[in-house]
Amino acid sequence: MRSTTAMMSGNARQWAVLVLGSILMSRVFAALHIPAAPLFAGMVAGIFVNIDGRLIYSPRLSRIAQIILGVAIGMLFSYKAFSAIDGHFLVVLLVAFSTFAISLLSGLLFSRLANISRTTGLLSMTSGGATGITAIAQELHADLPLVAIVQYLRVAFVMATIPVIVMFVFHDSVSLPTIATTQPLGWSAWGEALLFVGFCGLSGAWLARLLHIAAPYLLGPLIVSLLLTIGHVSILRSLPRPIIEIAYVLIGWQAGLQLSIARLRSQVRLIPIALGLIIVINLLCAILGYVLAHVVGVSDLDGYLATAPGALYAALAISMAANGNVLFVLGVHMIRLFMMLLIIPPLARFAAVKPPSTA
């Protein structure tokens, strides 16, 4: 009983440090003009606070972040945002498939270099929905701890490199954000915002789950918010900035808390191989993003974010903060996500039939 109480007390202190650390680092990153600073602050704080791996990230926190992000994206709707995909759908489809194929080939290479099963290699390197892929890994009897570590290592790497690349490569593409209200709000305005998020979140998530839509807590609220925006029945033009920043922090925690030092130590032999392949995947996807941007006619930053190998919520947050074409970035990622959901389960089962060669 005493040990349980002490553990709960210790966890409470860690959560308190995590919250305070996220706030302080968010201020520092904001002063450095890093877009979506709370997101990266949450990730860094999560990694350092959860060194022993005792803090567990609740799925409810992820759902709250997805709902807020979905509602905010739906409020950004414009027909111009969809035209980039609608007018070049075959090109977008080809690039999305190419980024997906790169991760598949990297997974097969990882299985050879690390001498692990092909199923584990494929699931470890596949980009698009780290949580979903981890669940699939458990179902297909892959090496679940290794798949989870490599998946969140990839997400953390993408999230950590995005602000650096934005600051030094795409600095001219970043403009003042308009996705959130920055003016002081009264109680009635806050009530309206929370009511709108709650209505879109609950109804959208329920509808998406009923229709078996992928990523229901993101796409469901997004669809409801988008429909209300199109119909000009939305009570808001944008969400208050603190609500957006809460979503950013929760997304950052999701990556940071999953990547504890204790977990990394358990697979220390394979981490350098995995990290090397992740870097190669990122470089190849960045080249595809540059090509996509120039063919479709969006900014280089949106092309880069659209083809980023995973870290969907971070890519959306950065695009929102940079005042980019968020719906284009989301569209390309969702096309790749649907490919993953259709192809990976049967492919992983097929790969599991024959063990990898150890010659």
Residues 293, 304 contacting (CB under 8 angstroms): yes
pLDDT surpasses 70 at 242:
yes
> Tokens representing 32?
């450095």
pTM: 0.72
- Show me where the domains of the chain are located: 2-353
DSSP output for 196-239: HHHHHHHHHHHHHHHTT-SSHHHHHHHHHHHHHHHTT--S-SSE
Q: Which residues, 6+ apart, have CB-to-CB distance to 266 below 8 Å?
A: 145, 149
34: phi then psi, degrees, rounded to nearest 5: -85, 125
Model confidence at 97, in pLDDT bands (50, 70, 90)? Answer: very high
Model confidence at 275, in pLDDT bands (50, 70, 90)? Answer: very high
**Phi-psi group of 318: left, alpha or beta (phi > 0 → left; psi -120 to 50 → alpha; rest → beta):** alpha
Cα–Cα distance for residue pair 231/225, rounded to 1 Å = 10
pLDDT digits (tens, 9 = 90+) for 251-263: 888 878 877 777 7
- 2-353 fold: Na+/H+ antiporter like fold (1.20.1530)
pLDDT surpasses 60 at 174:
no
Q: Which 8-state DSSP code applies to residue 181?
A: E
Model confidence at 311, in pLDDT bands (50, 70, 90)? Answer: confident
